[in-house]
Amino acid sequence: MVSQKEPELIKVLVVEADSILSQGLLTGLQQHGYTIAGIAGQAEEAVRLFKETDVDIILINIQIAGDKDGIDTVLELMKIKRVPVIYLTAFADAATIGRMIAIEMAMHNFIASGQQDIVKEPNHPLPTAAEPNGHDVVDKEVILRQGNHIFVKRNFLFVKIKLSEILYLEADGNYVHVVMKDKKFTVRLSLLQVIQRINYSRFARINRSSVVNVDAIQSFNKEQVEIAQYEIPIGKTYKESFFRQLGFR
């Protein structure tokens, strides 16, 4: 049996001069499933870590060591790459962060602020349904696009998925399966809503229920495409647009 690869978790950069508080934050974050990208006590170290590691979100105290405070440090970091930021205060201890309310709100607000390339769609109520067995089910309104990744919420945590690792999307009633090589997520959204929230140019719709990653296609003919162990039929009404996207007239 092939073991499943665990999805990538959010990487947090902690910028905090107080070693006791920073260690408490580190412990709390790790206990709740976050990955620590690094811990810095002043601006120069934060910039170095930010450049050297893949950071998804920053936790930073306004009062840090050195000539630059937390606000000046964030301004410098945002010139490198824009990510969500949480400013720590005396009240933002490990227990508060451990409840993940602040992190979740920061991720949502970052996307909602319009800083990411994401298409929004009016919310439509979806009927409740029994959860499929054998894979993770993600509630609606939790697909967030950031650069070449998406974040989906699983068991109260955001997990990070590379868009290039998605093989295809498959609609199944009120759900959509996000199929990867060794993992499957199921989101409680329509296929159109998922397409618009992900907004990835390498996706191509090939039938009423399926959207494929064209970079993952191993072979195809006029009737179907083959991706990994999957054979997905091409619908008649989607053939022309699909082959045009592949560069065929």
Number of domains present in the structure of the chain = 2
Domain end call among 55, 78, 112: 112
pLDDT at residue number 188 = 84
Domain end call among 79, 112, 145: 112
Six token digits for residue 7: 């999805």
Residues 196 and 228 in one domain: yes
Q: Are 132 and 175 in contact (CB under 8 A)?
A: yes
Would you say residue 126 lies in a domain?
A: no
pLDDT at residue number 196 = 86
* pTM value > 0.75: no
Q: Are 74 and 49 in contact (CB under 8 A)?
A: no
What is the rounded (10 degree) CA torsion for 130, 133, 139, 143?
Answer: -150
What is the residue type of 14?
V
Residues 176 and 91 in one domain: no
On the question of pLDDT at 211 being above 50, the answer is: yes
Would you say residue 205 lies in a domain?
A: yes
Residues 74 and 167 in one domain: no
Residues 156 and 97 in one domain: no
Return the residue matching tokens 């179907």. 224
pLDDT digits (tens, 9 = 90+) for 53-109: 999 989 988 888 888 988 899 999 999 988 888 887 654 555 555 556 466 666 666
Residues 106 and 142 in one domain: no
Residues 5-12: what's their mean pLDDT? 74
Residues 103 and 29 in one domain: yes
Which contacts qualify for 149-154: CB closer than 8 Å, 24 or more apart? 150/197, 150/198, 151/10, 151/56, 151/107, 152/178, 152/185, 152/187, 153/104, 154/7, 154/185
On the question of pLDDT at 42 being above 80, the answer is: yes
Which CATH number belongs to the domain containing residue 90 in this structure? 3.40.50.2300
